[in-house]
Amino acid sequence: MQSDNPTAAILVIGDEILSGRTREGNAHHLAQVLNATGFDLREIRVVSDNQDQIVAAVRALDSSLGGTYDLLFTSGGIGPTHDDITADAVAAAHGTTVEVSPDARALLQARCDRMGVELTPNRLRMARIPVGATLIDNAVSAAPGFSIGHTHVMAGVPEVFRAMVDWLIPRLAGGRPVQSLSVEVRRGESDVAEGLTEIAAAFPDLSLGSYPFRDHDVWGTHLVVRGLDGARVAEAMGALKQRLSL
């Protein structure tokens, strides 16, 4: 699919993802949001809680550091425990250091005051922000994410991650949302492959895909046409249906 939208990558950080202990859903959620708001998601990468791996990935993906994509979104590793090292790693990637942000500290202090608890050193770890970064609001638990360069760092807890996404995305300059149409056929992929290939060749500016499914003992295929021009997508879907006699 041809696109002039800003390109993006997602970096998921955490041993718990790689071990299978936690089912990853943040990238799936953000992918849907990005497609709906005019960002061209090109890559999703997962790394462990290892500083060298995080630094290397950030440098490879953030275009402000010579990386590949216009925007980089990260998930995980900004909590209060010893293995939450994302802030330090992202700071290192961007050539800066981490300090307790007065603004972040004030947010955490206000929440602790409301809850009647102490702002302990562990809680204060969540106010450690790379020097030069700006804060990403967290309407759920106050501890902020942050943006530096073209990297946007968010929490791994799904509820918090989604709140940060809801705050951040409207503040970024997107492009044209992806338009899509789909049709379900009760045929296997091999039966529709030739026709799909012909229509894909006729519409090189669009993305055409086939996704098999099984409904009891019947195999079928979901055919999807995606692009930035709704009229063009509709034209391709019409041609595909005609070619497959749907």
Measured CA distances, 213 to 66, 176, 181 (Å): 41, 30, 17
Do residues 114 and 78 lie in contact, with contact meaning Cβ atoms separated by under 8 Å? no
Q: Kindly tell me if the per-residue pLDDT of 215 is higher than 90.
A: no
Q: By C-alpha distance, which of 123, 122, 126 is closest to 136?
A: 126
Beta-sheet pairing, 71-75 with 7-13: parallel
**Which domains occur in the chain, in start order?**
7-171 (3.40.980.10), 179-243 (3.30.70.600)
Q: How confident is the model at residue 245 (pLDDT cuts 50, 70, 90)?
A: very high
pLDDT at residue 1, rounded to an integer: 83
Determine how many CB atoms are found less than 10 A away from the CB of residue 144.
Answer: 25
pLDDT tens for residues 160-184?
Answer: 999 999 999 999 999 999 999 999 9
pLDDT at residue 136, rounded to an integer: 98
Q: By C-alpha distance, which of 233, 240, 159 is closest to 199?
A: 240
pLDDT at residue 246, rounded to an integer: 87
pTM of structure: 0.92
Counting residues of the chain whose pLDDT is more than 90, the rounded percentage is 95
Instruction: Show the beta-strand stretches assigned E in 36-144.
Output: 40-47, 71-75, 98-100, 128-130, 134-136
Q: How confident is the model at residue 2 (pLDDT cuts 50, 70, 90)?
A: confident
Q: How confident is the model at residue 10 (pLDDT cuts 50, 70, 90)?
A: very high
pLDDT tens for residues 91-135?
Answer: 999 999 999 999 999 999 999 999 999 999 999 999 999 999 999
Q: Kindly tell me if the per-residue pLDDT of 218 is higher than 90.
A: no
- Separation of first and last alpha carbons in the chain: 24
